[in-house]
Amino acid sequence: MVEKLNSETTKNYLKDENEVSQFFISTGLTINYTYNNISFSFVPIGFDYATSTIGKEWIYNQKRWWGFGIGLEPKFLQSLMNK
């Protein structure tokens, strides 16, 4: 993933007002469940890792995160439009 870093997101490591784009590696454990063409995803644990010196100053570098998502198959939407 690519993140834009600035003085706020690096605790003033970057002094100027310009944003700098940096590459990160994002990892996580995902649990997926699909029912009737609807997918549910849950990420109970994930981490982002910096690949540069500037990126290592990012306030979220190596911090735990979690997330969730809902996905619909295209044929699910098509069946709704045909009703």
**pLDDT tens figures, 8-55:** 999 888 887 789 999 999 999 999 999 988 899 999 999 999 999 999
Domain that holds residue 26: 2-81
Predicted pLDDT of residue 70: 95
Q: Count how many domains the chain has.
A: 1
- The whole-number average pLDDT for the span 54-82 is 87
Strand 38-50: give its sheet, edge to edge: 2-5, 20-35, 38-50, 65-72
Q: How far apart are CA 21 and CA 4, in angstroms?
A: 4
Helix residue spans in the chain (DSSP H): 74-81
Distance CA 25, CA 47 (A): 8
